[in-house]
């Protein structure tokens, strides 16, 4: 590309020099020749005037005194009736420029100048024009090289950026080159890099979220299957299989929820549901795990609450809080429901040390953990709660009290009885 830019620029400059240079040479040649003719004619007119003055004054007409009145490169012949012919200067050889002028007393003066002097002056001017043209060509080459470098280097850099982007490195470079068209391309590449970076981040986040969110349901399902394998009681097998099927349905709901949030985190599928049923199901699922640890899990509070949300998402949020209490807490874990305004609240608490003082509300940030865990659980739980218009908050650090706030279904007013008069 550099070679093309230099060649094209040089070709344009040469064409311009050829057109204007030839025109300048033609005009300059005509000007020099015209100036030479005018000079010879002016010399002849001046000599005629001098000779005429001498005739009037009665002075002799000879070369003495007149030889100082003519230029060194010119030749003059003075003819006066009744006087001998007078010659001034050296007669030029070859072609000449001549001019003859006559006076009022019959005198005549002929002035000649060799054309070689005119040709020499034209040659000197041609050399000046050629030197200027050469300087113009050199300047054009220098500017072309600079411009080619200014354009080719950014294009090579943009190509490297595109190649790096295609190889999986989506970091924007934020380089600009001072050329509007190239800067526009750089803007597009940087915007594409940012979009690809967000997509890759979303993919990695989805993989991380899926692995974290599916771990607990899969563990619970594995425990149920182990119970089925270990027992010969048909009733127990039937009961455990029914519970396992319910867990599979919730697992499917979790997967669907993760995919929906990955596409659009604002998309929700909130419905009215019985909050007690979800809490009861979670308590029953987690009770065996707590019993194995010698701990208890209980529920209390306002009964028969109906909330707005996605049952599977609410179950997943509660499962995350219960699992955190199992892993990091101590003593009895309590799930308490209450009403505040038009919201239903589920509080999860235990008797452990709680959330470290230096964490506070940061406990909901990704990768933030006080017990060397992944730090994803509470962040995902908050995302799930907010997707359906709810919120998850830390009400108290010691002992820990986490609260899930959900919109509550208000009881419909009694039907109005029409009064018939």
CA distance 199 to 205: 10
Give the residue, 203 or 318, on which the prediction is more confident.
Answer: 318
What pLDDT digit, counting tens, does each position of 326-361 carry? 988 999 999 999 999 999 999 999 999 888 877 776
Q: Among 100-104, 260-264, 382-386, which stretch is predicted with the lowest mean pLDDT?
A: 260-264
Say what the pLDDT of residue 207 is.
65
What sign has the CA pseudo-torsion 221, 222, 227, 232? positive
CA distance 105 to 108: 9
Q: Among 11-25, 199-213, 239-253, 347-361, which stretch is predicted with the lowest mean pLDDT?
A: 199-213
Smallest CA-to-CA distance from 313 within 291, 346, 343 is with: 346
Give the residue, 112 or 222, on which the prediction is more confident.
Answer: 112
Per-residue exposure over 15-26, b if at least 16 CB sit within 10 Å of its own CB, e if not: eebeeebeebee
Say what the pLDDT of residue 296 is.
95
pLDDT for 413 beyond 60:
no
In this prediction, residues 49-76 reach a mean pLDDT of 81
Model confidence at 215, pLDDT cuts 50, 70, 90, reads: low
Give the residue, 297 or 50, on which the prediction is more confident.
Answer: 297
CA distance 418 to 421: 10
pLDDT for 260 beyond 60:
yes
If you average pLDDT over each of 221-235, 357-371, 390-404, which comes out highest?
390-404
Q: Could you give the 3-state DSSP secondary structure of residue 178?
A: coil
Contact indicator for 67, 61 with CB cutoff of 8 Å: no
What are 348's strand-pairing partners?
A: 335, 402
In this prediction, residues 14-37 reach a mean pLDDT of 86
Q: Which two tokens stand for residue 116?
A: 């070689």
What are 333's strand-pairing partners?
A: 297
What number of CA atoms fall less than 13 Å from residue 352's CA on the CB side? 22
Give the residue, 399 or 370, on which the prediction is more confident.
Answer: 399
Domains of the chain plus CATH, in order, are 2-139 (3.30.450.250), 166-205 (no CATH), 268-412 (3.30.565.10)
What are 274's strand-pairing partners?
A: 306
- Calculate the average pLDDT of the chain: 81
pLDDT for 160 beyond 50:
yes
Smallest CA-to-CA distance from 254 within 308, 202, 311 is with: 311
Chain Cα centroid distance, residue 363: 35
What pLDDT digit, counting tens, does each position of 67-95 carry? 777 888 888 888 888 888 888 888 888 88
Q: Could you give the 3-state DSSP secondary structure of residue 334?
A: strand
CA distance 44 to 51: 11
pLDDT for 153 beyond 70:
yes
Percent of the chain with pLDDT over 70: 85
Cα angle value 355/356/360 (rounded, 5°): 70
CA distance 48 to 61: 12
């Amino acid at each position: 590309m550099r070679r093309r830019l230099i060649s094209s620029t040089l070709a344009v400059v040469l064409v311009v020099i050829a057109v204007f240079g030839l025109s300048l040479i033609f005009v300059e040649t005509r000007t020099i020749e015209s100036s030479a003719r005018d000079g010879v004619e002016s010399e002849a007119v001046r000599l005629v005037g001098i000779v005429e003055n001498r005739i009037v004054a009665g002075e002799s007409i000879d070369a003495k005194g007149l030889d100082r009145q003519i230029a060194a490169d010119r030749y003059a012949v003075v003819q006066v009736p009744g006087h001998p012919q007078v010659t001034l200067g050296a007669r030029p050889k070859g072609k000449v420029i001549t001019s003859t002028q006559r006076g009022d007393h019959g005198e005549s003066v002929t002035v000649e100048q060799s054309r070689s002097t005119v040709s020499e002056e034209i040659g000197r001017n041609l050399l000046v024009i050629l030197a200027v043209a050469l300087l113009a060509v050199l300047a054009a080459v220098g500017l072309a090289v600079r411009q080619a470098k200014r354009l080719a280097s950014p294009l090579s850099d943009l190509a490297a950026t595109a190649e790096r982007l295609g190889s999986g490195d989506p970091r924007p470079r934020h380089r600009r080159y001072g050329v509007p068209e190239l800067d526009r391309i750089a803007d597009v590449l940087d915007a594409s890099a940012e979009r690809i970076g967000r997509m890759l981040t979303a993919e990695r986040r989805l993989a991380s979220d899926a692995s974290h969110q599916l771990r607990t349901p899969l563990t619970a399902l594995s425990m149920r299957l182990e119970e089925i394998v270990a027992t010969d009681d048909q009733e127990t097998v039937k009961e455990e299989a029914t519970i396992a099927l319910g867990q599979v349905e919730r697992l499917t709901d979790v997967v669907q929820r993760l995919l929906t949030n990955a596409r659009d985190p604002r998309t929700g599928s909130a419905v009215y549901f019985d909050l007690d049923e979800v809490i009861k199901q979670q308590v029953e699922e987690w009770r065996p795990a707590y019993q194995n640890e010698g701990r208890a899990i209980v529920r209390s509070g306002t009964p028969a609450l109906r909330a707005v949300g996605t049952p599977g998402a609410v179950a997943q949020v509660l499962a995350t809080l219960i699992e955190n209490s199992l892993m990091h807490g101590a003593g009895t874990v309590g799930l308490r429901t209450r009403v505040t305004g038009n919201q239903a609240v589920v509080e999860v608490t235990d008797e452990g040390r709680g959330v470290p003082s230096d964490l506070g509300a940061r406990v909901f940030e990704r990768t933030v953990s006080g017990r060397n865990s992944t730090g994803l659980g509470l962040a995902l739980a908050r995302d799930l709660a907010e997707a359906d218009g709810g919120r998850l908050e830390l009400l108290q650090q010691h002992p820990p009290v986490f609260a899930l706030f959900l919109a509550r279904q208000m009881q419909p007013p009694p039907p109005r009885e029409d009064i018939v008069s």
